[in-house]
A = this chain, B = another copy of it.
Amino acid sequence: MKVVALAGGVGGAKLADGLAQILEADKFKVIVNTGDDFDHFGLRICPDLDTVCYTLAGLANLETGWGRKNETWNAFESMDELGGPTWFRLGDRDLGTHLERTRLLAEGSSLSEVTARFCRSWGIKSSVLPMSDAHIPTRVYTDQGEMAFQEYFVQYACQPQVSGFAFVGVETAQPAPGVLDAIRDADILVICPSNPWVSIDPILAVPGIKEAIYSESNRLRVIAVSPIISGQAVKGPAAKMYHELGLQPSALNVAKHYGARSNAGLLTGFVFDEQDVDQDAEIAGLGIRTLVINTLMRSKADRNRLAGEVVAFGRSLTGG
């Protein structure tokens, strides 16, 4: 069984890590959102991509959910002393990543080449693919105006009320090399418990990616894992966004967001938390096979367990 995952953010990184742990390296690839990439201090910063890579490499800071473990903050403090902007915290070890990525990009390397190179250095055996080598910045429409994603997410701490999103330049962007093949080769596509609007939708918006998912309809099982548990997001603004967009944050509404494959949507199967078992009939009623289990990932063992259950669920389904 070959598995490809779509991921962004901490929940996505955790499940991707579980999948990387339980699957052979050549049987697992993860396609990562880059819509939250931005330039800061002249450096190209790719938070979702780095979170996935740091997590797979065992370098992630498990306490904060972002950045690196054993981190120091001397560059940031020195910059702060000079009156620079402190809304986006940059650790010293993390800065090394941004410095070398920025240098390689300026030399003409693509983001996917840089990512592959970094993964080799970090000992990551699974393929980590940015969704695109093009810069496709997510813009957030809010009651305080339109803003860049990191502005919304970090600088404004998700406080503005969102009304919509745009993925700038996505119409003319191409998937990064390997992305379409990874989808076409896969038996199971896992949509990780990431924010549907700002982590997964940017990936799905890249021309060709949805088409690749549909083109293998007879084989590919598409399974999403709900990032919403008991009406709340484990981390991040997903539940808040649901409310602001006029929807109840629920597993059901996550399933509806992606839609049933049998009804022109994406999903063959849907995995959600046992706390939401009361929604099972209604989700199944959409024409989606369901798996109701404990989906919380608190420990490394939780990641592997959830990954194992998702893959076993996928095996049990008929493709398409």
Contact = CB atoms under 8 A, between A and B. Distances in A.
Contacts of A118: 82
Interface stretch (A8-16, A18-26, A94-102): A94-102
Interface string A67-107: 01001101111111111110000111111110110110010
A78 B106 contact: no
Nearest to A95: B75
A83 B75 CA distance: 21
The complex is assembled from copies of this chain, and their number is 2
Nearest to A43: B42
A116 to B, nearest CB: 12
A121 interface: yes
Contacts of A41: 43, 99-100, 102-103
Interface string A108-145: 00000000011001100000000000000000000000
Looking at chain A's contact residues, is the secondary structure mostly helix, strand, loop, or mixed? helix
A101 to B, nearest CB: 8
Contacts of A74: 71-72, 74, 91-93, 96
Nearest to A93: B78
A81 B90 CA distance: 18
A122 B85 CA distance: 17
A70 B65 CA distance: 29
A11 B97 CA distance: 35
Contacts of A85: 103
B79 A96 contact: yes
Interface of A: 40-43, 68, 71-72, 74-85, 90-97, 99-100, 102-103, 106, 117-118, 121-122
Given A75-B92, A81-B96, A95-B95, 8 more contacts: A40-B103, A72-B72, A72-B92, A74-B93, A75-B95, A81-B121, A83-B117, A92-B95
